Chains A and B, each alone.
Chain A
Amino acid sequence: MWRDIVLVAGKDLRIESRSRVTFSQVVPFAGLVLVLFGFALDANRPVLERATSGLFWITVMFVTTLAVQRSTSIETTDGARRALLLAGIEPVAVFVGKAAAIAVQLLAVELVLVGGIVVLYGADIESFALVAATCLVATVGIAGAGTLLGALVAGVRARETVLPILLLPVLAPVLIGATRAFDDALGSVAVDGWAWLGMLAGFGAVNLVLGALTYGVLLEET
């Protein structure tokens, strides 16, 4: 199964590196959102500093909808989903492989965004370890939930609009947990960020298990 996971993830990342959608469109979009939030709140600098963590993760949520839509359309555009079924590949390998590819892309975007909040919002990172751990753990959950919901809406005609409606509420726990953990890492609010990581890890585990159990059904039925 690991071999298939690597094949699927490698295929998605190779497609991404060829199309350069992440770096030519998604990263600029994320940067633009960050800049616009800055314009909206810059007049009240303390509010901007206080809201930095939340703005960072809201931007990540927006980026996630783009990454998941892209990942889903790769398989639906020319009937590749059907070919995956015919190939006899384990659905759980497809799920983990596609989630891993999304996670790698999101982590790359988050790296750029961390630089963005330091430069644009003047964020002062007090714990790089907590920032890195939060990004890693939250992204696993986001990618798992995104891949699962991407498969759920794959057969829906208006999936571009349906996906955010389904995905953003599901990601609300990540927004809350990751924002609190970042608040601690940036020193903007006195809170135990490491404790929030536990909640994020739980969210990630639930989504991975749910995906492993149900992705095959979604691949067959949608």
Chain B
Amino acid sequence: MPIIALDGVVALLGRFPALAGVDLAVGSGEIVLLQGPNGAGKSTLLRVCAGLQRIESGRALVLDHDVVTDRAAVRRSVGLLGHDTALYDDLSVEENLRFWARVSRVDAAALDGALDRLGVADRLRNVPVRHLSAGQRRRTALAAVVVRRPQLWLLDEPHAGLDQSGRDLIDGLIRSAAAAGATVLLASHELDRTIELASRHVTVAGGTITRDRTV
């Protein structure tokens, strides 16, 4: 069973076609790099796989759930790190993560481990998010994804705003997730860095897949 099965998916952003008939099949444990120019449709493709983007035509299955008719099941199974961090500025790091863990029905006891893995120092855990740097926010947001233990990781520019140690940390996290059987779909402009991580390199342009090769 493919983890992602897209068949002729068309999606609009406003009146403009962001995806114009995308076919893609991704298997378990794959790390797929989505690469392409700005506006190519990479982020929209990730949102489709998260059950957050309406599709106009075609069919999209994620973990055998239809993203239109069974999107609640799709959403429960994925972890998405987008451009936004979905953190509340006036709450501390720990309060944010505890809130997201509770509403996601995830064991909050896993928070400490996730924060340690992401290198979020103990001294930062009670600091309001508004006082964090962009990189620290990014790490905290990724901790919220890690805690969910998703079967499918959807990462949109995961290295953005991170220093070298943060980038290395994310690479390690992606590798260990894939080694544990999770599937990773990541969109990135940092080809040199992410091509080493990926098992597959998919090029997106003009809302379609123009190249798909195993690395």
Contact = CB atoms under 8 A, between A and B. Distances in A.
Do A and B come together as binding partners? yes
Contacts, number: 63
A83 B90 contact: no
Contacts of A86: 50, 52, 75, 78, 80, 104
A18 B84 contact: no
Interface in A64-99: 74, 77-80, 82-89
Interface residues of B, number: 26
B95 interface: yes
Given A7-B103, A18-B90, A78-B86, A88 B75 contact: yes
A88 B103 CA distance: 8
The main secondary structure of chain A at its interface with chain B is helix
B123 interface: no
A213 B141 CA distance: 31
B89 interface: yes
B179 interface: no
Counting chain A CB atoms within 10 Å of each CB, which of B72, B88, B89, B128 scores highest? B88
Interface string B76-94: 1010101111111111000
A19 B50 contact: no
Interface of A: 4, 7-8, 11, 14-15, 18-19, 74, 77-80, 82-89
14 contacts: A11-B88, A11-B91, A14-B90, A15-B90, A15-B91, A74-B88, A78-B84, A78-B87, A79-B84, A83-B86, A83-B100, A85-B75, A86-B50, A87-B100
